[in-house]
Amino acid sequence: MKKEWKRRCRRDLTVWYVPDELRKIPRMPILGSFTRQGNIAGKVTLRTACLEASQCPKCGSTAFTEEKIKL
């Protein structure tokens, strides 16, 4: 079953939804593994998406409460 997270900004109570795969922000890839440039680019893109999902779309605050939703 697909999971999604409902996040609510603590500051202005804006509600937004985040898919489960964007909930955890992946660590930055280790620089030096130059042979896998494609993977690095993909990971950076995913990380950016995760960081965006962890911010209130309205005020940019990263303070929020979240609850799990099953779709």
Q: Which residues bind Zn ion (CB under 5 A)?
A: 9, 11-12, 14, 56, 58-59, 61
What is the closest distance, in whole angstroms, from the C-beta atom of residue 47 to Zn ion in the complex?
21
What is the closest distance, in whole angstroms, from the C-beta atom of residue 71 to Zn ion in the complex?
24
Question: H/E element holding 16?
Answer: strand 15-19
Can you read off the two tokens belonging to residue 26? 């992946």
What is the closest distance, in whole angstroms, from the C-beta atom of residue 39 to Zn ion in the complex?
33
Helix (H, G, I), strand (E, B) or coil at 38: helix
The whole-angstrom separation of Cα 62 and Cα 26 is 16
Q: Which CB, 58 or 68, lies closer to Zn ion?
A: 58
